[in-house]
Chain A
């Protein structure tokens, strides 16, 4: 019996089988590749955090080795809220809203969404500022201590985010030791340059406090519009909106961190 390929029944059966088969293949593939993908993303995050410590040359931090370096250098993870109150501390006990004591966990608990490592700054760029969580990674190497903080904001096309290493040995003179930015979809060759040394390296040795001693943060200005000082970096020609996104993101996040580091940390 020859198939009538024009018939409705044949068309519907063909479409149904096709959708089930293709759907099954894709679902299997997604499940099978998920662990490798998650590991890539976590290693990239660890890589960015280590790069922001300034302990090593950024190029020398290889993603596949970032897991070991992270274990070795990151000694404590803290998460604070907008008001500077700790909501998670890997070393130390905190009281939750009901007054119960919650001990910190040394290992990263993937289910604890307040764990600094699980706080996904990128997921928060649409959250109102006062509900955001602010992770802090305490990194130590050769007796030096650097606090790596993360931030996220909106660039021209999509979100931009960054990891910033802070040296707060002198709370009045908090200094950026290194910064690592990245983006999801900024214009290639223009806004995308924020994840390259040309832009990132400018942040080294910038101060969070202005000349008056109060918080000033780091401003991204139009290149050449005025001389640079301790609180300004050059933006990128042709990527004004990306630069403004970085500026606005730093304004929100760095002030919260500044207020937190101003007080001595126990």
Chain B
């Protein structure tokens, strides 16, 4: 029986689990999940980065745990079971950040708790982990977290650069208050990029570019 043949973890099929979410099935730009946090935590690259790492941790572990329990979860309460798993993981992340990476936990404040409501996580648990083995589920979680992370980082890059004139907190366009660098010729930071709506514009531009480069994404 072909089912009993052990499939290598990095088979071509499993590699697609990682590569697809980066482009063809990107959770943010194609499936339009997790938009809420893409709007909220992208003002600074540092926050976006820590958020991506936290989501990756929760998504991979959540996928693996739910996948391991997939045969014993009572179908009628499976959503609640998934919620409990995700919520517990998020609380662990929150508490560990508070104890060991205090500054990052201050930057993210309430958004760590809001990972629970990140639709990508529940979406992957329900769509993938419930029906697959732990190995592929971990890869699926990793791929989707990276797919989420790169969009977040690209959005944060432009928002921080255009809104605050800095990257990862370091001023790159000169000192706005002292009027050095670009600011000496009358350049000013664009306040709109500090506000959540600008992320919508940026995400839309990413989707646009993605669809130009990848015609099979265009719906008839």
Contacts and interface: CB of A to CB of B under 8 A. Distances in A.
B81 A18 contact: yes
Q: Bin the interface of chain A by size.
A: 20 to 34
A189 B43 contact: yes
A33 B99 contact: yes
Interface of A: 3, 5-6, 10-11, 14-15, 18-19, 22, 25-26, 29-30, 33, 36-37, 40, 44, 63, 184-185, 187-190, 198, 237-238
A260 B98 CA distance: 37
Interface residues of B, number: 31
Given A189-B164, A189-B194, A14 B72 contact: yes
27 contacts: A5-B74, A6-B74, A6-B76, A10-B74, A11-B74, A11-B76, A14-B77, A14-B81, A15-B74, A15-B77, A15-B80, A19-B84, A22-B88, A26-B88, A26-B92, A29-B95, A37-B95, A40-B99, A44-B102, A185-B109, A188-B41, A189-B44, A189-B164, A190-B191, A190-B194, A198-B177, A238-B191
Interface of B: 41, 43-44, 47, 72-77, 80-81, 84-85, 88, 91-92, 95-96, 98-100, 102, 109-110, 163-164, 177, 191, 194-195
B163 A29 contact: no
Nearest to A39: B99
Most buried by B among A30, A40, A187: A40
B54 to A, nearest CB: 16
Nearest to A192: B43
Contacts of B98: 33, 37, 40
A14 B41 CA distance: 36
Contacts of A26: 88, 91-92
